[in-house]
Structure 1
């Protein structure tokens, strides 16, 4: 899903005996840095051979009441929900309720190309179905209840992105439709299907379809960083369903993916179908390579929540990270620190700066900048003496000063360098420089 500290470090909880490969001190040091510099709130769990070898949680479930997070805190996991949904679809295939090659017109007769789109096309993002999160007014209605009929209407109203099975392109709508198909064939709400087919058999204690955030149930609010942590609005969970509405925590997520790869949810034959990558997409799963080792998993983002789930089959290593405040430091950087600690590879701990720029200097940088190199504009504003950048059609993000005219946003690897005399700004990202001129 889209859209995309005051904290106390909790005690390290470990299982007796680490993997001989794993060095936890580097991760401990990273979390201490993140806490000290107010850069992250969330939890991590690492499991090897089905045994948890490391957990950590920092931050708050609710900043306003100083309710600290713990290893029991539950988070909205966003698009990791898709891996659960794909597993449920394959369960239905094994129960002979559906087959992957059937078209979806009997479920969604008003949908463009419904007579040629198959369930398989939905699973691996080859349907060409319009992604409803692309709606220009999505953020105006995403916090309100949406009926199934209304969601289908919104999806059907969108333009066809491409003809079915001609290429792959990520669309949240695919997994909304798969959720509805599951409800039709089981004649139950998605949450009940999830509970019956996966949660209860695996004895997952912290996983379910989410609703309104409930702090009394160890759930957490989400936050974005704009100089300070600010509470994010809540997407209504009637919208994403199996595309992004599941709530869980890292230990449950590790148990889930370990069980999936052990053939405890679906057959290994069907797992291999999920893992088959075509145009970068599997069926509810992605393939990753880290330190020349192959992993599978998914990531997620909804409101201020961010999550990562990876499984390394050869090592039987599972790593899950869930966060409710990740705008200051990206989950993937924490993942890389964890993997480098496990595989004994180098990792540079971040150096957070405390450079202060005078308010009048910040004011001189404010405005809108355009580039001839890329078709976006970037607006620079200020809040509580912190510079805020926002690119066309994207969420805003805070900038941290590293020099009087240089600012960075570590979570996206962005550096902005200002030249007032020329009314220019240089965007540095991904090893490339882009020239912007102030309008």
Structure 2
């Protein structure tokens, strides 16, 4: 439903642009209008081939302290963490340490064979594995469940080991248990904690100096609402949730990462093709993120489209493949994800 709504909105934006309603507006006016309508506060960064060509910050990273949003302000990026995790898995495949088409049980030897033999790593990365969300019932009764201090292995046993919800590859289910299992695989094949592997294989080589799983003291404050002003506290989450939504980053880091991954040589050609090959068409979902065909300048263009939503924060990284343009939008005032997507898309019409 969300994807259809977004694409409908995108079509309307395209029609407006062709009629001169959107494309005739200066970029500043477009941002001002969005900020007024949606109470947007945050960072808008546009780049070309990894180089910033436009920056606009709006409002405050900390409203009570009147601390302005800045380019270097860190924001939790939620599900964009899945995209980063997928990069590590592809690099492990390049090194011959995993095979995304292999069954889960090849790497998790003690996982139940009746289901694990059917689930491929690619299924998990595309959210089409059928692994049930055994964590959801606990969260309904225990709001602090995301902070329970157990090992990755114990989390797999407790939350990820139920009977399959559907046959792998036959349905889409956006559940964090897919990504708990992928953390377990990464740790099993490397013998290292997930965060250490991510630093070694992804954030380090990409030069993402401000991308971390630890919330920095200068991170933007998340707000549930602006009127009345109400904070939404960013709670610490257990390490086995990090792949699903635990990273914090900056607009500059995300711009650089998008360029290096999609335009540069960070991934081998086969890995890059795998990353952007849609595995579930109804959700435009590839590996750890989405790939969409959207209209710009009256023509269909293909975009990588990474989004995140958590604790009052919203994020979008859109990257257009044909001209290497990237739009990064980070927000801390609970703007709806649909509104964020349509705003980011409209910015591509202002190039």
- The question of whether the paired residues in 2 share the 8 Å contact of 1:307 and 1:331 is answered with yes
Match of 2:341?
A: 332
Match of 1:144?
A: 147
- The question of whether the paired residues in 1 share the 8 Å contact of 2:210 and 2:253 is answered with yes
* Residues 78-87 or 199-208, more deviating: 199-208
How far does the alpha carbon of each residue in 1:361-392 deviate from its partner, in whole angstroms, 9 at most, with x for none? Answer: xxxxxxxxxxxxxxxxxxxxxxxxxxxxxxxx
Q: Which has the higher strand share?
A: 1
- The question of whether the paired residues in 2 share the 8 Å contact of 1:214 and 1:220 is answered with no
Match of 2:173?
A: 169
Indicate how the Cα distance of structure 1 residues 30 and 101 shifts in structure 2: closer, same or farther if over 3 A, else same: same
Tell me the SS of whatever aligns to 2:319: strand
How far does the alpha carbon of each residue in 1:389-415 deviate from its partner, in whole angstroms, 9 at most, with x for none? Answer: xxxxxxxxxxxxxxxxxxxxxxxxxxx
Could you tell me which of 206, 209, 212 is aligned with 1:208? 212
Match of 2:197?
A: 193
Mapping of residues 293-372 of structure 1, within 5 Å: 293-327=301-335, 330-342=339-351
C-alpha distance in 1, partners of 2:27/2:56? 9
Structure number with higher relative contact order (C-alpha < 8 Å, ≥ 6 residues apart): 2
Match of 1:99?
A: 99
- The question of whether the paired residues in 2 share the 8 Å contact of 1:82 and 1:243 is answered with yes
Indicate how the Cα distance of structure 1 residues 173 and 36 shifts in structure 2: closer, same or farther if over 3 A, else same: same
Q: Which has the higher helix share?
A: 2
Indicate how the Cα distance of structure 1 residues 157 and 197 shifts in structure 2: closer, same or farther if over 3 A, else same: closer
C-alpha distance in 1, partners of 2:216/2:343? 27
- The question of whether the paired residues in 2 share the 8 Å contact of 1:225 and 1:328 is answered with no
How far does the alpha carbon of each residue in 1:296-322 deviate from its partner, in whole angstroms, 9 at most, with x for none? Answer: 132111111111111111111111111
- The question of whether the paired residues in 1 share the 8 Å contact of 2:160 and 2:181 is answered with no
Indicate how the Cα distance of structure 1 residues 142 and 265 shifts in structure 2: closer, same or farther if over 3 A, else same: farther
- The question of whether the paired residues in 1 share the 8 Å contact of 2:160 and 2:177 is answered with no
Match of 1:129?
A: 131
- The question of whether the paired residues in 2 share the 8 Å contact of 1:207 and 1:246 is answered with yes
| Structure 2 residues without counterparts, runs of 5 or longer | 1-22
Give me the TM-score of the superposition, normalised by structure 2.
Answer: 0.82
Match of 2:184?
A: 180
- The question of whether the paired residues in 2 share the 8 Å contact of 1:198 and 1:265 is answered with no
Match of 2:49?
A: 49
The runs of at least 4 aligned residues of structure 1 exceeding 6 Å deviation read: none
Mapping of residues 264-275 of structure 1, within 5 Å: 264-275=265-276
Matched, 1:230 2:215: no
Give me the TM-score of the superposition, normalised by structure 1.
Answer: 0.66
Indicate how the Cα distance of structure 1 residues 66 and 164 shifts in structure 2: closer, same or farther if over 3 A, else same: same
Indicate how the Cα distance of structure 1 residues 35 and 283 shifts in structure 2: closer, same or farther if over 3 A, else same: closer
Tell me the SS of whatever aligns to 2:293: strand
Indicate how the Cα distance of structure 1 residues 333 and 229 shifts in structure 2: closer, same or farther if over 3 A, else same: farther
C-alpha distance in 1, partners of 2:124/2:146? 25
Count of matched residue positions in the alignment of Structure 1 and Structure 2? 317
Indicate how the Cα distance of structure 1 residues 36 and 313 shifts in structure 2: closer, same or farther if over 3 A, else same: closer
Match of 1:63?
A: 63
Indicate how the Cα distance of structure 1 residues 159 and 146 shifts in structure 2: closer, same or farther if over 3 A, else same: farther
Match of 1:115?
A: 117
